Amino acid sequence: MTENANNVSNANHAKNAKNTKNVVVFDYGFGNVRSAERALARVGARVEITRDYERAMNADGLLVPGVGAFAACMAGLREARGDWIVGRRLAGGRPVMGICVGMQILFSRGIEHGVQAEGLDEWPGTVGPLKADVVPHMGWNTVEQAADSRLFAGVAPDARFYFVHSYAAHGWELQAHNPALRPPKVTWSTHGERFVSAVENGPLWATQFHPEKSGDAGAQLLTNWIETL
């Protein structure tokens, strides 16, 4: 290889390294962090699994996974100061993405087995039991993509995503009263009843399904998120 070719190659490597986005998968004990790490790395992110406050605050993007009960996830998140991190990042317009219960805890409250627990209250509304003949909702399902969605850009309208949940947000209560602000984009799915399956709200995005387990369609969603960081 010539000296000029070496210089071009080194410049390209430096450019790619500079453009690579740093994503923290927040490790608070209630999410399949390794699956998320692998999926993000496959689509080009530099990924770190940590609960370190400074690293989570300073990352280009913060991913909050979630598996298990709403109240337990909230307790784990608070113990790791994750509630502060999410709130402060969003106050500064720093991107956050929630997955599964990591989406549910963004609502005001959750009710499981008759017990109510407070969520992060980023969005008004209650997460409650999914009313369907078969629960949990486990497997592949389609979504009703929001119009002009950036999250679903390049994803076929009939694409299927992988769900595992027994609870969901059954309605959307937040309304944008300031015409200067971009209104939230809400995507829906149906299993027994209609429920919120994804939201794009400024720097805060979330999915009820697992993009890291949803093949090419899920990879495209994660790519779309990374490209906004």
Active site residues: 100, 210, 212
DSSP state letter for 136: S
Rounded to whole angstroms, the Cα distance separating 98 from 62 reads 9
Per the CB < 8 A criterion, the answer to whether 70 and 36 are in contact is no
Say if strands 96-99 and 160-165 run parallel, antiparallel, or are unpaired: unpaired
What would the two tokens of residue 201 be? 């709200």
Q: What is the DSSP letter of 21?
A: P
Q: What is the DSSP letter of 103?
A: H
- Non-local (6+) Cβ contacts of 59 within 8 A are 22, 23, 24, 48
Residue 155 — left, alpha, or beta (φ > 0 → left; ψ -120 to 50 → alpha)?
beta
Largest CA-CA distance found in the chain, in angstroms, rounded: 71
